Structure formats: structure tokens, C-alpha cells
Amino acid sequence: MSDSASGRVAILISGRGSNLQAFLDSRDAGELPGEIALVISNSAQAEGLARADAAGVAHRVIDHRDFDNREAFDQSVLDCLLEADIELVILAGFMRIITPVLTAPFEGRLLNIHPSLLPKYPGLNTHQRALDAGDAEAGATVHFVLPELDAGPPVIQVKVPILPGDDADSLASRVLAEEHVIYPIAARWYLQGRLRLHNTGALLDGQPLPAGGIPYIPA
């Protein structure tokens, strides 16, 4: 498989696309040393498609319901990524479990953001679970994607306080604002050649990262 350094980035979405927007804003601010070349959604209803359109970014819908199984869907996505000479894939609210059909060829070139302080709360309903557990903090983690769900070496992690009176929605919006900050940072590190997946660990500037990734302190 090619380890092409084309600097071409694909962003995979399923819905709102606020993280996609953060990448587009980062690009517009001249802070992303690569090209957002392609947006793929598994749903034609994804609001993020309009964001891609408005930003002049090529976008495609590959509807998972048109395929018999996850592998066939992933193969179609993979074909599209290869055709577009994509170097780095950003999962941004992409609500599909992906298989080794996609993770293997893009190992070390596939990032995800998860709205929890991984390894806590992989999976869904992360904010409610943090509230139910009585946690003092919540947050988000950018990580390399390995075949396991919400697993893979963390790259950068941000913590936000859980405040009295928080519900899942208020907490989610506070975390989301920080997601928009840390995700483009991780992609920038990758595109600058500073961030790499080595065996199963993440390295930044050749140094192993802490267990939760680099701690990002919100402004």
C-alpha cells in the first residue's frame, strides 16, 4: 500500500459536521498544511455536506444501506479514498463501525475524535455516562484508529470541568467547543510529519506520547 505524502485529507462524516467545519476554518486560517480534498458521508441527509459544498470541497455520499455488509461498504469508501490520492483520513462524527478493509490500508493515517477521556467511556452516550458516574471532568480524545472500536493510541486530549447543573447537552456543547480546537491540531502535527504511529504507539517528534495523549489545556 502506498504511504503517499500527498497532503490530501479526506473527512468522513455522518451528520452535523461541526468538526468538519472546524477543519474548514483551520484551512481558511492558513493553519492546515494540507488540502481538504474530499468529504464522504454515509448519509445524504448529513448537514455537513452543505458545509463542504459551501467551502468548495468535493463531496460524495456512499450510502451504507446500498451494501450487503460492512466490508463491501468499506471497500467502496477505500476505493474512493485511493482514487482521490488521500494521505490522511479524519473520522468526524462518522457513525459507522469500520473494518480492517479500511483500517489496514490506512493504518497510521486514520484519526478519530471521541467525546470522552479515553480509555474511559468508549462507545455511545459518553456525556451521560460521565454524569452518572459522578465524574468531576469530561473531555475529548483524538486517537489513531486501530481495528477495535474507539481504541488506538491517543494523540491529544482535552479536559473540561463538569459543572453543577450540567446535563448531557450542556456538557456535550462544552466538550464540542474544545473538540474543534484539538482535532485540527492533531491533523496539523500529522501533516507536518511530526506525528506518527509506530508499532502500536503514537510518537510526536519521535517521542512516545503519554497514555491519554498530549494534554491540551483550554485557553
Catalytic residues: 114
120's grid cell: 474511559
Verify binding: residue 155, ligand GRF, rule CB under 6 A.
no
SS3 state of residue 87: coil
Please name the residues in contact with 210: beta carbons below 8 A apart, sequence gap of 6 or more: none
Q: Which of 6, 16, 82, 120 binds ligand GRF (CB under 6 A)?
A: 16
Please name the residues in contact with 175: beta carbons below 8 A apart, sequence gap of 6 or more: 115, 127, 138, 139, 140, 158, 160
Residue nearest to ligand GRF (CB): 93
Closest distance to ligand GRF from the beta carbon of 116 (Å): 9
Closest distance to ligand GRF from the beta carbon of 19 (Å): 3
- 5 or 124, CB closer to ligand GRF? 124
Verify binding: residue 184, ligand GRF, rule CB under 6 A.
no
Verify binding: residue 171, ligand GRF, rule CB under 6 A.
no
What is the number of other CB atoms lying within 10 angstroms of the CB of residue 119? 13
Sheet holding 207-208, edge to edge: 195-198, 201-204, 207-208
Rounded Cα distance between 147 and 149, Å, is 7
**How many C-alpha atoms does 171 have within 13 Å on its Cβ side?**
27
Q: Which of 15, 34, 152, 154 binds ligand GRF (CB under 6 A)?
A: 15
Verify binding: residue 212, ligand GRF, rule CB under 6 A.
no
Verify binding: residue 178, ligand GRF, rule CB under 6 A.
no
- 47 or 85, CB closer to ligand GRF? 47
Task: Confirm if 54 and 21 have CB atoms less than 8 A apart.
Answer: no
Rounded Cα distance between 98 and 75, Å, is 10
- 19 or 76, CB closer to ligand GRF? 19
- 21 or 76, CB closer to ligand GRF? 21
Q: Which of 24, 52, 113, 191 binds ligand GRF (CB under 6 A)?
A: 113
Task: Confirm if 30 and 56 have CB atoms less than 8 A apart.
Answer: no
Verify binding: residue 176, ligand GRF, rule CB under 6 A.
yes
Q: Which of 19, 43, 76, 157 binds ligand GRF (CB under 6 A)?
A: 19
| Residues in touch with ligand GRF (CB under 6 A) | 13, 15-19, 92-93, 113-115, 140, 176, 179
